[in-house]
Amino acid sequence: MERYLTRPVRLTIFTSLLALVFPAARLLLVGLLIGIALWKGIKELKAGNQNKSYAYLSIVIIFLLLTGYTFYSAHQVRTALQNVELDISQVKDGQYQGQGEGKRGLIKVAVEVNEGEVTEIKILEESETPSIGGVAMNKLKNQILKKQAVEVDSISGATLSSNGFKAAVSKALWEGMPKKPEVSGLAKVMYFLLENNLNKVTFNSLAILFIILMMVDYTIHAILAKDTGQSLNCMNCQTCVGACPVKIADGDPFPMTMVLEARLGNYERVEELAPYCVGCSKCSGKCPAGISAPSVAGSSIKLLNKKRQEEAAKERDVVKDRDIIQDESIDQTVVTTDQGVSVEG
């Protein structure tokens, strides 16, 4: 029982229980599950396992998250766009304040809204010329009340005062508008892609990216495995076993096991199995992936020998360093003078 309760399983159980009690923990649970899938997927890719189920699962999760986010973004931006225009009928009842820059300073107003209509506009503060700006603001106030819209013509000869007054009324009304949702830059990009039907291109691109990633994965492993790279293409079909006159070597199906061991980098095992091969080449002629078992074995043994040579060289260097240290300590002499005792060498 204990061996099944691995850390990821324990964490999942704990967070699931937590999620039952605290709804906010559900997000944590989803994050944890995604995290586990990604972590396992990366481990699989790093280890070069043939079974990449978690890696594929991670890609599917990322794909689904991106898709979900794309549609959510589109909804978010659409909602935001609906509220781009100031619509007095949507303004909630109440009194709102706003300010605008007139010709001679700030113009502050209080706008009263009742049942979707502007019922009163009070000028709270202004320093415009009464005979020009003052008159213009009063005229604009009447026009706005009459038309129930802020987009009214400015009064000629008092354009700056008119604009300042309209800006103040507009800002006050915006205060009463339903809140616009915050839209992130990424959400806008997603919306643009959807609106322009680029989502199809995007999803196709993701599919292409997926294939490219798989190819890159295989290529990287082929490069890493150098000459043994062809073993990565083995499909465990056992055709080579049927073709090979040996068939079973050291209790394992031959030469398939040898190829699979090479893929795992277990070159010592390949070295043990290689002597069973008689070099008839029947396996490579039949293998659907064109794998030559003797060639894989030869490359593996070459890599193994290289590794052994490197280790031996390292060992020699360590021994040499140790000898030098010992020699140096032997050469040291103790010199006694009137000033004291010193070590030379």
Residues near ligand SF4, by CB under 6 A: 234-240, 243-246, 255-256, 259, 277-283, 287-289, 291, 293-294
**Minimum distance, C-beta of residue 247 to ligand SF4, in the bound complex (Å):** 8
**Minimum distance, C-beta of residue 276 to ligand SF4, in the bound complex (Å):** 7
CA 217 to chain centre: 18
Query: Smaller CB distance to ligand SF4: residue 149 or 235?
Result: 235
30 exposed, middle or buried (CB, 10 Å; 0-12, 13-18, 19+)?
middle
**Minimum distance, C-beta of residue 59 to ligand SF4, in the bound complex (Å):** 25
**Minimum distance, C-beta of residue 253 to ligand SF4, in the bound complex (Å):** 8
Strands (E), the chain: 94-101, 106-114, 117-125, 248-249, 252-253, 333-337, 340-344
Query: Smaller CB distance to ligand SF4: residue 229 or 255?
Result: 255
Cβ of 83: how many Cβ atoms within 10 Å?
Answer: 15
**Minimum distance, C-beta of residue 284 to ligand SF4, in the bound complex (Å):** 7
Query: Smaller CB distance to ligand SF4: residue 176 or 294?
Result: 294
Report the DSSP beta bridge partners of residue 344: 333
Tell me whether strands 117-125 and 333-337 are parallel, antiparallel or unpaired.
unpaired
Query: Smaller CB distance to ligand SF4: residue 111 or 249?
Result: 249
CA 307 to CA 303: how far, in whole Å?
6
DSSP-derived 3-state class of residue 121: strand
Query: Smaller CB distance to ligand SF4: residue 33 or 222?
Result: 222
